[in-house]
Amino acid sequence: MKHLVRVTLLAFIAASLVSCYDRDIIDFKGLNYSLPKVSNLNYTKQEKVVTLTWEIPTAIAAEFKRPLEVDIQKVENDIYREIIVVAGEETTRDVTIDPTKTYRFVVKLSGYLTDEARMEGRSERYYSQAEVIEIK
């Protein structure tokens, strides 16, 4: 009897776990829109200020609203400190630092889809892959 209860309970648990997923998420392969990474990411350092520079690629899908933004994650001593949003497709940013600490900046291009390209229930904001630069 105990064996039958265990088998039944195990079958019930297995059936419950198998049915706990959203098929739409599994079937969804993503949109055909993507943003390219920023290119030529460089920096100059002068005491307490780092100037980051980059280029925004010209091959941007028409489904993205212009101007795009650049998001910079400031990582201080391996701790994420802040996200700096650079609007208007600017290609440079001055960031204040503490010269006694180590820094890493994670730079991503971000943009919003146009109303025509948006899909119901999907995010309208997309990010490129990151470019990372370490300040030495």
The pLDDT tens digits of the residues spanning 5-51 come to 777 777 666 656 555 555 455 444 455 678 999 999 999 999 999 99
Structural domains in the chain? 30-135 (2.60.40.10)
- Asked if residue 15 lies in contact with residue 92, where contact means CB atoms within 8 angstroms, the answer is no
Between 94 and 117, the more confident residue is 94
E-strand spans in 1-136?
39-46, 49-55, 69-76, 79-86, 92-96, 103-112, 125-127, 131-135
Write out the two tokens for 115.
Answer: 């109303």
- Signed CA dihedral, 22, 108, 103, 40: sign only: positive
The half-sphere exposure of 102 on its side-chain side, counting CA atoms within 13 A, is: 6
Ranking 3-12, 23-32, 91-100, 122-131 by mean pLDDT, the lowest is 23-32
The half-sphere exposure of 33 on its side-chain side, counting CA atoms within 13 A, is: 22
